[in-house]
Structures are given as structure tokens and as C-alpha cells.
Structure 1
Amino acid sequence: MDSVEFVHVDVMYLYANQSVLDFYPKFGFLPKQETLYTYPVVKREVESSAPKKLSGHSASDRHLIYQKAQNRSAISTCFSTVHAAELVMFYCLYVFSDHLYYVEKEDAIVIAQHEGSVLHLFDVISEQKVDLETVIHSLVSENTTKVILHFTPSDDLACEKGVYVDSNVLFVRQEGELFPKEFKHPTTSQA
């Protein structure tokens, strides 16, 4: 197989399943460790206005989500994805269609799912910077003890950090070191 060089590409990445972990290093891809961000929920007064539940099956909700996704602001100054509205819509339609919310106070679309005492926060889509604590506290229930963020938050959110473990492993081929030391590639921008 002939080698293909990508001279105008700074970085290439992919997610590999467990059966091909030895394959991609042959082509210069190296595994890259992601960070698990966990926000411990401290009980405080519940936000007065609950988020509006949206549906990936509603035409008007899809229009609102797509509009926000097209014009989204980066959720983090450290590591984020923008200009990927179609990929976000795939997740909203086929993966998280029943886990979509609109938080009016932040004018943000939120993709989140409760699992027992854990709230999984997959994405926050807004046209301006949002206060993640406000978003989180609008979604937590009485029994929520922690929030797992499936993206890299900005430094102003006090999170615990750990090693992210998943069945798919991030592989990167890059010139130099372009990724931050600690990051989580946003789940909703993984193709």
C-alpha cells in the first residue's frame, strides 16, 4: 500500500474500536488520552424555571436546534467544535432525540440524560457564552450527586478530573503538539 502524505493538514484524528488498536499506529496515529470532567453537585436552591423539553421529532424544535447549532459559540476556550451543525443534528435526531432541552435563561439548547443520581451533559449549544453552572442547576434533580461532562468545559467551572475510559480510543496524527494536555473531545462532534 502506497503512503499518502497530507501536506496541508495539521492534525488528523479518528476513533478506533478495540479490534483495530494495533492497526492505526502503522500509519503514524497514536492513542491520545482524554480527560473525564465531573462536576460535583452541591445542593442549592433549585432554579425557578425548569428547562423546556424539546423533541428531535418536532419540526419547530429541529429548526430552533439547527439555527443555534449553525451559529454556535464555542463552549470552551480550551477545546471545542464549531461549524459542525449537521453532525450535531445527527445526534439530536438519532441518538438524543428524547434528551433535548431549552434553557431560556441562557438561551441554550442542552443535550442531557439522567442515569440514576448522575446527569450526563453531552452538549450545550448557544450563540453566546453560557454560564454552565446555571445550565447544570436548571437540569439537576433532588437526587443528582454529580454531572459528567462529555466535552471540555471552560476553566471557570470547578470540575474534578480523571481518566476518560471508553470502548473507542481516540487516535491522533499531528505535527507538533496541537491538543491541550487535558481535554475531552465533544461526544456530539464525533463522526
Structure 2
Amino acid sequence: MSNNFYYLREQDAIVIAEFEGDTLYLQDIFSPLEVNLDNIIKNISNKEVKTVALGFSPSDTGSYCVNLLQKDDTTLFVMKDKEDLFQNNKLMFSVLSHA
């Protein structure tokens, strides 16, 4: 995984990403500044990339397609009065937070 870390000096951002075929799996971005996700994707992508899969919830989900992810053997327990939080919002736990 050490080959999947990138430092983008212009954005002062550390990006964790993986390339697989024509897909860029953008696991997470760390920066002391607010970054423009589209600029990060442009700077880290190559001409083979046709799809970008985010491993986190972007601040602005309006310009991205959201697909339901279902995996076996994963369960999230939510308090009874809080289930609408996930049903009504496009949220996910960062893939780096999964144990």
C-alpha cells in the first residue's frame, strides 16, 4: 500500500489512491486546507482513467453518481431514531475506517 500515497504540493494534500485498469480508487485525501476534489482527481489521474470510485463521502455530492454498496458480513447498528440519517443523506464511512 505504500505505493498508493501521493503528495500534491500545489494543493498541500496527501492522496491515497489506487489504479486498477481504467478505474481510479480514491481512498482518501488529507490536507490542512479545503481542497477542490475535481482538481485533485485531474492532478492524480492519467489518460487511461475513465471511472473514479471514492472511498469517502465528498462535501458536495451533487456532481457525483451515488451507488449503493452492499457487502456480505458487514453490519451497522444505528439508534432507533437515527436511521433516517443514512436513508436521507448520501453518507458512507471512509473505507480507511473499516477494520
Question: Fold-level match, TM-score > 0.5?
Answer: yes
Of 110, 113, 122, the match for 2:27: 122
For structure 2, the residue ranges without an aligned partner over 5 or more in a row are none
Cα distance change, pair 117–161 in 1 and its aligned pair in 2 (3 A): same
Question: How many residues are treated as equivalent by the alignment?
Answer: 96
State the one-letter code of the partner of 1:185. Answer: F
Aligned partner of 1:131 in structure 2 is 36
User: How many Å separate the matches in 2 of 1:159 and 1:106?
Assistant: 21
User: How many Å separate the matches in 2 of 1:110 and 1:135?
Assistant: 8
Contact 2:15 2:28 in 1 (8 A): yes
For structure 1, the residue ranges without an aligned partner over 5 or more in a row are 1-95
C-alpha displacement of 1:165: 2.7
Aligned partner of 1:164 in structure 2 is 69
Based on CA coordinates, which of the two structures has the bigger radius of gyration? Answer: 1
Structure 1 residue ranges, 4+ long, deviating more than 6 angstroms after superposition: none
State the one-letter code of the partner of 2:26. Answer: L
State the one-letter code of the partner of 1:188. Answer: L
C-alpha displacement of 1:169: 1.9
Identity of aligned residues (%): 27
State the one-letter code of the partner of 1:182. Answer: K
CA deviation string 1:138-170 (max 9, x = no partner): 111111101000110111661011111333423
C-alpha displacement of 1:119: 0.1
Contact 1:102 1:108 in 2 (8 A): yes
Aligned partner of 2:60 in structure 1 is 155
Aligned partner of 1:97 in structure 2 is 2
TM-score between both structures, scaled by the size of structure 2: 0.85
RMSD after superposition:
1.8
Of 98, 113, 117, the match for 2:18: 113
Larger RCO of the pair (alpha carbons < 8 Å, separation 6+): 1
Identify the range of structure 1 (174-183 vs 148-157) with the bigger mean alpha-carbon deviation: 174-183
Aligned partner of 1:187 in structure 2 is 95
State the one-letter code of the partner of 2:98. Answer: Q
SS of residue paired to 1:114:
strand
